[in-house]
Amino acid sequence: MLEKFKKLGLSDNTLEALKRKGFEEPTKIQEQTIPLLLKPDINVVGHAQTGTGKTAAFGLPLIETLDESSKTVQAIILTPTRELALQVAEEINSLKGKKRLEIVAIYGGQSMDQQLRRLRKGVDIVVGTPGRVKDHLQRKSLRIENVSSVILDEADEMLNMGFIDDVEDILSYVKGQKRMLLFSATVPERILRLAKKYMPKYHLVRAQQEKLTVSLTDQIYFEVSRSDKLEALCRIIDSEASFYGLIFCRTKVDVDQVSQKLSNRGYDSEGLHGDISQNQRERILSKFKEQRINVLVATDVAARGIDINNLSHVINYSLPQNPESYVHRIGRTGRAGKEGTAITFVTSDEYRKLAFIKRVTKTDIRKEKIPGVDQIIKSKKLRIKDNISSIAKSSESDEYIKFAEELLEENDSTKIVSAFIKYSFGDELNIRSYNKIREATVDMKGTTRLFVAKGKIDKMTPRKLVDMIKNVAKIDSRKIGDVQIFDKFSFATVPFKEAEIILAAFKRNRSTKKPLIERAKAKKKR
């Protein structure tokens, strides 16, 4: 099953780790990059988007080539966001198999003391955001002068966020012979200059561009508390005429609990995760493909290799860990020319993560309200009415005509039909079978400080700054607060949600190489 990975030159330990994770075939970027990086002293510029498997493309060769007995940091990976830092660290950790390598993610917002303790214990691979990595270098709590590999992941995003100067400062700490890898979804001139400066000779690898999302997929999110997720899931299933979907959970325990609770409520569901034997897996998938069950609950790893073309829904019961996982999940619906629906449950503390997924995947995930009980019952009644009318018009019911005539002779026709509905569909139409769902709202108390590259010398005033943001981003001016105007720059504070809208709007309207508005950097002297 892993023959193509084996041909790339990977060890048995790595192949076993790939097998456990459910990998089957390498992606384009992996196929081109891994053989190069298994050779010594080769630099690579990888032109690859999110969702192409680039983390494994550089992570697997790292695992293969790093020395388990080293006492110093051997590789440094820079990412633009803490979410991506965590994703990369987790992915490499899951691929290392039995190899004794320590991987740590360091980023702003996490306890500095916790990071210092991890670094003092000894680390082989550091994955971090430029700001926090630079902090540790200045404290001398992180030493990278002897690293053998430096990796810049999503370099264009670091450029857009104003981190390239920090990246160059970090590279000045690296001495002697090193390998550099640079991965970027786009390769603007500034990124090419960086590559030429620090990578005199490099191989340019271009992965075939893949869509970040599926055009035939309608993407929705619901705000719901953790305790109400199961109820919300049941309502979504019941509101559809022919639900046939894949439900994604984060852990094996969640899969077992959700699939069992659905079965207890009478749904035709099964669960799939890493502890399921191969025989069980094949049996469950066979039932799902033949639609003898219409709900399959699974983890990301267990869902790898499932090739079903006519799913009506993919539901993120748990928010995916990263944009790449989101892309892979929703790509399973909207296939074979059919429109599908991707639904994501978001709890009150997950809005920033959702906003990050939306920004990286460049997709619109619209907010909707969970279907109300009255709405679901109304939909069920219409479906029952249509089904009974269809049967009545066919010859399928002819054998019961005499029995029906006897019942109508002895009873009122309306009461007989009412009794028939209660006898056949009473449980299905019972409002009390649904639990109440509390109104959930995303926590928008958190705010973001924005840096504006205009100040008094540009004749900027608090009123002008607010009007500028309002006109470009089309947001309520009352959301913009704590405005400070200095000689050459300004600051403003806005809620998380509005910050994403503002940054996206000014990125689209950008006329200069340096962004006009960006997130303010902590501890940065300007």
In three-state form (DSSP H/G/I as H, E/B as E, the rest C), the secondary structure along 118-179 is HHHHCCCEEEECHHHHHHHHHHCCCCCCCCCEEEEECHHHHHHCCCHHHHHHHHCCCCCCCE
* Residue 523, pLDDT score: 44
Domain 3-206 and domain 447-519, same fold? Reply is no
**Superfamily of segment(s) 447-519:** RRM (RNA recognition motif) domain (3.30.70.330)
**Is residue 208 within 8 Å of 324, Cβ to Cβ?**
no
Neighbours of 413 (CB within 10 A): 10
347 Cβ contact list (under 8 Å, min separation 6): 223, 224, 225, 226, 319, 440
Whose CA is closest to 131, among 142, 146, 118, 145? 142
pLDDT number for residue 305? 59
Q: Identify which of 516, 511, 502 has the alpha carbon closest to the alpha carbon of residue 474.
A: 502
Q: What is the pLDDT of residue 446?
A: 63
Q: How far apart are CA 84 and CA 325, in angstroms?
A: 12
Local structure of residue 369 (DSSP, 8 states)? P
CATH class for the region spanning 3-206:
alpha beta
pTM, to two decimals: 0.53
pLDDT for the residue 190: 84
Q: What is the pLDDT of residue 434?
A: 79
The tens-digit pLDDT sequence of the chain (526 residues) is 588 899 999 999 999 988 887 777 888 889 999 999 999 889 999 887 666 788 899 999 999 999 988 889 999 999 988 878 888 998 899 899 899 999 999 988 788 899 999 999 999 999 999 999 999 999 999 999 989 999 999 888 888 778 888 999 999 999 878 899 998 877 778 888 888 888 878 998 887 555 555 556 889 999 998 889 999 999 999 988 889 999 999 888 999 999 999 998 889 999 998 788 878 888 998 899 899 999 999 988 777 657 676 889 999 999 987 777 788 788 777 655 567 899 999 987 787 788 888 877 778 889 898 888 888 888 888 888 888 888 888 877 788 888 888 888 888 889 888 888 888 887 778 777 777 777 665 554 567 789 999 999 999 999 999 999 999 988 888 889 888 999 889 999 888 778 888 988 888 776 655 678 888 765 433 3
The ranges assigned to domains in the chain are 3-206, 217-370, 374-433, 447-519
Residues 6+ apart with CB under 8 A from 465: 452, 454, 480, 483, 485, 490, 492
pLDDT of residue 269: 95
Angle of helix 130-139 relative to helix 164-171, nearest 10 degrees?
A: 40
Nearest Cα neighbor of 297 from 340, 263, 330, 324 is 263
Helix (H, G, I), strand (E, B) or coil at 344: strand
CATH of 217-370, one of 3.30.450.20, 1.25.40.10, 3.40.50.300, 3.30.565.10: 3.40.50.300
